[in-house]
Amino acid sequence: MKVIDHINQAKDKTIVSFEVLPPLKGKGIEALYRHLDPLMEFKPAFINVTYHRSEHVFKKRADGSFEKVVIRKRPGTESICAAIMNKYNVDTVPHLICGGFGINETEDALINLRYLGIDNVLVLRGDAAKNETAFEPEPGGHKYAIDLLKQVVNLNAGIYLEEDLKSTHKTEFCIGVAGYPEKHFEAPNMDTDLRYLKAKVDAGADYIVTQMFFDNAKYYAFVKACRAIGINVPIIPGLKPVYTKKQMNVLPKTFHIDLPTDLSNEMLKCKTDEEVEQVGTEWLLHQSKDLKKNGVPVLHYYTLGKPHVVANVVKEL
Ligand code: FAD
């Protein structure tokens, strides 16, 4: 079932969804199941699975020289979505990125997703590869998320890359896109970023999922600014718990977001990461209750690594 249908069916009720990472290459899927098991009692409407592009690394040879090799640390997004669907009978949303993909590979990936019975995709550009300073599309690949989105919209209309295909199957993907309450870090300003977000919605995105934020006021201001320029699709807040002191610097650096002073002050007072986790749980619960009270359609939790923290919060809701 499509994400948008889950939202419409829930009417004014707030539903929950979770996001997980594929296992590291070399690990089995069992650890992911152990991660998800305690979360399934909350009957998530859907589960997102992130996509991780391949990286170039330099491996030292026996003679001291270096060899450039391509590695992919977390493969398998599409098949993991299918496995989760089979095991838990829940809808899944694979993330699909432009980075590292040519348009033919993207089309094949989308065809595979349909064969697997997956109705949803979250389309993203992806970040620059580790060895690049700025995002570089594959030769002939997509430069922005909107270009990838248009390819999915075309497939939904039965338009494939091979123009002479006859009587083609129309896919029916529900399409999500990313939005940034604190602005995407490359955008010159919020207005420009919002204009590009509106272009994604006008091109066919069904809903928006936000980057994580820790200050609900920023989410409400973002929704208001979106509505003011005619973005009328559901805007799903992305939520993440803090649970280590290190995150005080890692989260702003990695995701280009701020931690509110009240939160960072509380984290600074903590002597151990267990205490930080307690602070993070309370903060997330407070955020979640407030968002629910204000009628958000979905609370989307980045569960990465800490399912019990998210479980404790959702239990309290
Ligand atoms: P875009 O919408 O293409 O925007 C990128 C930048 O370009 C923005 O600054 C925008 O303002 C600008 N822009 C957009 N269109 C144009 C245009 N036509 N001309 C000029 N400028 C333009 N990354 C992963 O690798 N894997 C994941 O699984 C993943 N999941 C994510 C989930 C969520 C909810 C979010 C918020 C992010 C996720 N990311 C993921 C990170 C994401 O790929 C990066 O934030 C990336 O830098 C931007 O992706 P985007 O889809 O927002 O790009």
Domain definitions of the chain by residue range:
3-316
Q: Where does the pLDDT of residue 66 fall: very low under 50, low under 70, confident under 90, or very high at 90 and above? A: confident
Distance from Cα 280 to the centre of ligand 1, integer Å: 26
Instruction: Tell me if 144 CB under 6 Å of ligand 1.
Output: yes
Angstrom distance (rounded) from CA 191 to CA 194: 5
Instruction: Tell me if 238 CB under 6 Å of ligand 1.
Output: yes
- The model carries a pTM of 0.96
Q: What digits encode the pLDDT tens for the residues 123-167?
A: 999 999 888 889 999 998 999 999 999 999 999 999 999 988 988
For residue 292 the two structure tokens come to 């629910």
Angstrom distance (rounded) from CA 204 to CA 215: 29
Q: Is residue 168 pLDDT above 90, yes or no?
A: yes
Angstrom distance (rounded) from CA 36 to CA 19: 10
CA-209 nearest atom, ligand 1: 34
156's CB contacts (< 8 A; 6+ apart) are 170, 171, 172, 173, 204
Q: What is the DSSP string of 37-86?
A: GGGGGG--SEEEE-----EEEEEEPTTS-EEEEEE-SS--HHHHHHHHHH
Residue nearest to atom 9 of ligand 1 (CA): 187
Q: What digits encode the pLDDT tens for the residues 246-279?
A: 999 999 999 999 999 999 999 999 999 999 999 9
Residue nearest to atom 47 of ligand 1 (CA): 127
Fold classification of 3-316 (topology level): TIM Barrel (3.20.20)
Q: What digits encode the pLDDT tens for the residues 79-96?
A: 999 999 999 999 999 999
Angstrom distance (rounded) from CA 127 to CA 16: 27
For residue 113 the two structure tokens come to 């997703």
Instruction: Tell me if 299 CB under 6 Å of ligand 1.
Output: no
**Residue to substitute in 125, 197, 208 for testing ligand 1 pocket (most ligand atoms within 8 angstroms of CB):** 125
CA-179 nearest atom, ligand 1: 36
CA-184 nearest atom, ligand 1: 9
Instruction: Tell me if 145 CB under 6 Å of ligand 1.
Output: yes
Q: What digits encode the pLDDT tens for the residues 111-124?
A: 999 999 999 999 99
For the residues 65-84, what does the mean pLDDT come to? 90
